[in-house]
Amino acid sequence: MSHLFTVRHRISAGALLLSGACTMLVSNNVSAQLSPRYQDMNADLVADQSDDSERWRDPSILVFAYTPVEDPALYSRVWDEFIAHIEGATGKEVRFFPVQSNAAQLEALRAGRLHIAGFNTGSTPVAVNCAGFVPFAMMASADRSYGYEMEIITFPDSGIQSGADLRGRQLAFTAPTSNSGFKAPSTLLQNEFGLQAGTDYRTVFSGSHDNSILGVVNGDYEAAAVANEVLKRMEGRDVVNASQYRSIYKSLTFPTTAYGVSHNLTPELSRKIREAFFSFNWEGSALQREFADAGMAQFIPITYQEHWRVVREIDEANDTVYNCD
């Protein structure tokens, strides 16, 4: 039976009612909100592996999913070499699952149909708390620097010059679980410009950063909040160019997509998957070419407790709680 995650936020309930999207519920403490179905005995904020080996899973076929994008078929090819590397490291067949939405990705993990995943920044806390996701890796540059910024973009002759000019205008978000595509911009616009989503400006949810960017350059949206790492990749593929949009706001740096596994895989399988991430040779790979414009050149180890602190603080400012069950 599918599980429904729903989303509301203190500062933007009106916008969410307009979205029709569902992925989590709300309240006021996001420091440790694991679903009761999980345990966290070591207080690292992620689900522990069960002490009962009968509850461990060792699937014959592993399923991997990257965060939803506008063209899942393209990204299937981008990940082919990496998937082959995991197959070699684990001795198992690995299939790419082209998810169409954050909700579908979360539900697949929670239901046990997804074993390895890359969750976008804003969905990672939901995946951790509601679906037993254990993140351990993130893409980084050769010098181990990482992250992206949220930018609000508009088309050149929109007349929108700053965040303040969004009053009475339209702003496209991606999905309620997205950090740069919803949570960060809605918080920052209220804090810095006194603008509340759904009240002071109109909102629409596009479903992905790719859709939001294309919507702006094609004139379908007056403005959009996006992750600039996606913008750079689309420019690198000549899907869009810098003359087709203007950036009117840029945030501080956030962590990027978190990669990890389901908490209930066998210890040996989890270890092999982790090692595969850090032993993958990026040089000359499709992965390197796709993410070169964002400066990515390797996977580095991360922890949810440390690297997602700023994201949890944004959720806390929004009075967000994950009522998963």
Give the domain ranges of the chain.
13-26+58-143+256-317, 148-254
**Range 148-254 classified under CATH 3.40.50.720:** no
pLDDT at 19: 32
> What are 250-303's pLDDT values in tens digits?
998 899 999 999 999 999 999 999 999 999 999 999 999 999 888 899 999 999
The lowest-confidence range among 149-153, 215-219, 314-318 is 314-318
**21 backbone φψ class: left, alpha, beta (φ>0; ψ -120 to 50):** beta
> What are 116-159's pLDDT values in tens digits?
999 999 899 999 999 999 999 999 999 999 999 999 999 999 99
Range 48-59 burial, b when 16+ CB lie within 10 A, else e: bbeeeeeebeee
Average pLDDT over residues 23-30: 37
pTM assigned to the model: 0.78
Question: What is the rounded CA–CA span in Å between residue 134 and residue 102?
Answer: 17
Q: H or E stretch including 13?
A: helix 13-19
Which class is domain 13-26+58-143+256-317? alpha beta
Question: What is the rounded CA–CA span in Å between residue 260 and residue 265?
Answer: 11
> What are 172-210's pLDDT values in tens digits?
999 988 899 999 999 999 989 999 999 999 999 999 999
**Topology alike, domains 13-26+58-143+256-317 and 148-254:** yes
Query: Is the confidence at residue 30, as pLDDT, over 50?
Result: no
Query: Is the confidence at residue 1, as pLDDT, over 60?
Result: no
